[in-house]
Amino acid sequence: MATINDNYLKLKAGYLFPEIARRVSAFAADHPEAPIIKLGIGDVTEPLPAACREAIIAATQEMGDRATFKGYGPEQGYLWLRDKIAQHDFQSRGCDIDASEIFISDGSKCDCGNILDIFGNDNKIAVTDPVYPVYVDTNVMAGHTGEAKDGKYEGLVYLPISADNDFTAEIPSEKVDLIYLCFPNNPTGATATKQHLKAWVDYAKQHGSLILYDAAYEAYITDPDLPHSIYEIEGAKDCAIEFRSFSKNAGFTGTRCAFTVVPQSLMGKASDGSDVKLWQLWNRRQATKFNGVSYIVQRGAEAVYSAAGQSQIKDLISFYLENAKIIREQLTAAGIDVYGGTNAPYVWVKTPSGLSSWDFFDKLLFNCNVVGTPGSGFGAAGEGYFRISAFNSRENVNEAMKRIIENKA
């Protein structure tokens, strides 16, 4: 019999979203008439922008004609898309990022996990607590941790984020090699100022650390003073990889397109002590294990950068941000403390009356038929908090808030 990767057995059995699904289906089975509204998951609800759909249809037509048919594309993505990203998302903000440093992929979730392929097994790894669970679980799978104890894996450095530190991770006192940062943050909806990111870049440069910067929600930043990319900070090209996605700005969660920026100047240490370009390793990894995103989807993503695409994604983001505003205002009026939700699609709620995250989940489900996400599912320091997502129809958001207020949840 083939042996297995035992590290998978360390993964916590009651993983957050399956447990939510289990509780919701048990409730729905007992109350089949209950009009459940789900404000739990981070999936978008509004359809693909017209500009993207039109580009996808035109590309599909091209695939039906021998003269314009495309087979395998470049594993790194088509240059016309990488060029547009480099110009629009980085160079226009003063970031010195070149198209060659952009790798198109089918999702930042995959990239956040796959990136571990190019790193050694002896790095000290830091994550925030609470955290997007993919960073932790992929490290568990790769054997970079010990067992889980009290909601934390041995071997990982956890950086707590809470109202006490304004939901921004404090710089660790010890030296770590890899640090995952996510701004705007999932789950807390917090953002990072340039000063905060500069402190991280300074720390990374001083200790030879690498920052894995997840900017999947960058498009939700409306405050002109907040940085959209870590490369807006001087020196970040020497110490950071950035993950971006078309999922949350253009509704590509089901269409799948994202990209990762690996600057040519980034170096890692080989076991013989020599310095090696991380770009070279990631390029090799992608060329070997990935065969590119479909031509049709890349054309759809390219349309995000057209004038029509830009205006349509702006409308989409404003729509979700207005939902977040309604959630914030209504919950505040109900006497509940809320955070985030101004430059992010997530509102992070302090559970009222000292309820645990799961007790508040059950209360909302049973009394209001509203589903959210218990903060404790994102890490031990998320206990006592609750995430409400703004990804839903206006009607559902209004109805959910009305029920919460009427039931004095």
Residue range at the interface with ligand PLP (CB under 6 A); choices 101-109, 229-237, 334-342, 367-375: 101-109
Contact in structure between 131 and 378 (CB atoms under 8 Å)? yes
Residues with Cβ within 8 Å of residue 348, at least 6 apart in sequence: 167, 187, 188, 189, 190, 338, 339, 340, 341, 375, 385, 386, 387
132, 158, 220, 295: which one contacts ligand PLP (CB under 6 A)? 132
- Per-residue buried b or exposed e for 18-53, using 16+ beta carbons within 10 Å of the residue's own CB: ebbeebbeebeeeeeeeeebbbbbbebbeebbebbe
- The two tokens of residue 243 are 């993950």
The length of the chain, given as a count of residues = 409
Contact track, ligand PLP, 244-263, x by CB under 6 A: -x-x-----x----x-----
Residues with Cβ within 8 Å of residue 151, at least 6 apart in sequence: 376, 379, 380
Query: Which of 107, 384 has the CB closer to ligand PLP?
Result: 107
Taking the C-alpha atoms of residue 63 and residue 60, their distance in angstroms, rounded to an integer, is: 5
C-beta of 240: minimal distance to ligand PLP in Å?
A: 15
Alpha helices in 208-273 (DSSP H): 247-250
Contact track, ligand PLP, 7-46, x by CB under 6 A: -----------------------------------x----
Query: Which of 116, 409 has the CB closer to ligand PLP?
Result: 116
182, 262, 338, 364: which one contacts ligand PLP (CB under 6 A)? 182
Query: Which of 189, 263 has the CB closer to ligand PLP?
Result: 189
C-beta of 339: minimal distance to ligand PLP in Å?
A: 17
Q: Is 128 in the site for ligand PLP (CB under 6 A)?
A: no
C-beta of 216: minimal distance to ligand PLP in Å?
A: 4
Size of residue set near ligand PLP by CB under 6 A: 13
If we measure between CA atoms, which residue out of 109, 228, 185, 114 comes closest to residue 381?
185
Q: Is 186 in the site for ligand PLP (CB under 6 A)?
A: yes
Q: How far is CA 205 from the centre of its chain?
A: 24
Q: Is 392 in the site for ligand PLP (CB under 6 A)?
A: no
Q: Is 216 in the site for ligand PLP (CB under 6 A)?
A: yes
Q: How far is CA 376 from the centre of its chain?
A: 18
Query: Which of 214, 302 has the CB closer to ligand PLP?
Result: 214
Contact in structure between 366 and 24 (CB atoms under 8 Å)? no
Taking the C-alpha atoms of residue 138 and residue 157, their distance in angstroms, rounded to an integer, is: 15
Query: Which of 213, 231 has the CB closer to ligand PLP?
Result: 213
Query: Which of 108, 294 has the CB closer to ligand PLP?
Result: 108
Residues that bind ligand PLP (CB under 6 A): 42, 107-109, 132, 182, 186, 214, 216, 245, 247, 253, 258
